[in-house]
Structure 1
């Protein structure tokens, strides 16, 4: 039996310099979003946060999807990417996290909102507890009809993750669907009962996406 195709999910949270002008920020976001045209990129969107949790100092997020670790590596050193990253004065701080996930392109064209959650596991978690979190979050697409896609995984790039070891992403067809999901009693029960007790810290960011 053929093995399931895996892709790489790539999340970067940015804190924008308070002294940056809106024109500089808009130009920086446009340059980031233009990287979606690179051959090594399956999907890429960068946008400001609409909402964050209280511990989150970051203001913007980039989500990218790559066919393999090699494709992500190609993206990282691509001259256009390097020029955007090193050629601006907009970003004050960032956090980046990557994980492997099953291939699923079905939601790309209809996604209008993302809920990003980065989690820092408790250091002494048993493997069974880690597995429980993975099983709970991996079922979100089946549990909640308004979730177009749900992706959870353990970070494979610790260098810029600031200790965050898990990434979780939910995609929605409308921002109103995301808001309804946040108020869903089953989601709140699972998150508060099964996930939060297993982590030291979470960073949550909600973003609207423009369909090009």
Structure 2
């Protein structure tokens, strides 16, 4: 405190004070020797670390609480059922296709009638959408005797056109869309001679759609890797909505299809846009 309150030198004052003190001998301190003995304190009980730090990143608990993008195989098949098909045969086809969801390699599968076909050049009537963990799982599904039987006995006899489309997606969100949700499938055929730069531009546009339309729960897109069955279409996307109301709401504003087309219109030769409602469980399946 003195150094903060005075500006006078303190050394002379301190020197005078020390010379005035009598010189006294310092007493010798006696430090008693204390014999060593074990600590009288009991050790603390061991503490569980489960409440003080998170579990490792490999923990299933952590993955269950965090949504992470994962590689998923999208598989889409479009059917055009013959107009004179008897309803019972059509019902059998749809029932048997949906029964394939029990195959071990299938993560998700739904099949049924297309609710709205927005394409003028292709008049498909029904579709199948399924998902797989790997390309090998998709190949295993295709080779399953149950799948081969359904195709030969219930699909080909009543359909006069079938189209397949597959891609790898960085899927963010649930593998199985909620029953009652709505799906919009968009398939693009690019003009001949386009390179990877133009394909990348189209994929970038598809990837940005979800950010522009919060009504979309999930979007998946990618480049087809099964060209033999795709009729020249090379890029596809699936947009999942909470329901038909939300999907149709964008169309009332004239936004959804036009935005997908406008930014890449000059690069496209043809477009297929189909709407599908994932059916609710029937009373028999509850």
For residue 166 of structure 1, the aligned residue among 232, 235, 242 is 235
Residues 35 and 80 in structure 1, CA contact (< 8 A), matched pair in contact too: yes
CA distance in 1, matches of 2:239, 2:229: 22
The residue that corresponds to 1:56 in the other structure is 122
The residue that corresponds to 1:142 in the other structure is 211
Residues 52-107 of structure 1, C-alpha deviation per residue, up to 9 Å, x if partnerless? 12222111111110000000001001111111101122221100010000133426
For residue 74 of structure 2, the aligned residue among 3, 9, 18 is 9
CA distance in 2, matches of 1:106, 1:37: 18
Normalised by the length of structure 2, the TM-score is: 0.69
Residues 19-68 of structure 1, C-alpha deviation per residue, up to 9 Å, x if partnerless? 21111111110110111121100111111111112222111111110000
For residue 193 of structure 1, the aligned residue among 236, 256, 262 is 262
2:91 is equivalent to residue 22 of structure 1: no
For residue 119 of structure 1, the aligned residue among 166, 188, 191 is 188
The residue that corresponds to 1:155 in the other structure is 224
Q: CA deviation at 1:135?
A: 0.8
2:160 is equivalent to residue 92 of structure 1: yes
CA distance in 1, matches of 2:195, 2:226: 22
2:133 is equivalent to residue 67 of structure 1: yes
Residues 183 and 277 in structure 2, CA contact (< 8 A), matched pair in contact too: yes
Residues 109 and 211 in structure 1, CA contact (< 8 A), matched pair in contact too: no
| Structure 1: unaligned runs, 5 residues or longer | none
For residue 38 of structure 1, the aligned residue among 74, 83, 103 is 103
CA distance in 2, matches of 1:107, 1:182: 26
Residues 120 and 202 in structure 1, CA contact (< 8 A), matched pair in contact too: yes
- CA radius of gyration, larger in: 2
Question: Would you identify which runs of 4 or more consecutive aligned residues in structure 1 move more than 6 Å?
Answer: none
The residue that corresponds to 1:210 in the other structure is 279
For residue 175 of structure 1, the aligned residue among 237, 244, 251 is 244
CA distance in 1, matches of 2:224, 2:177: 26
CA distance in 2, matches of 1:160, 1:189: 27
Q: Which has the higher contact order (CA 8 A, sep 6+)?
A: 1
Aligned residues: 209
Structure 1 or 2: larger strand share? 1
Normalised by the length of structure 1, the TM-score is: 0.91
| Structure 2: unaligned runs, 5 residues or longer | 1-68, 282-286
* SS of residue paired to 1:40: coil
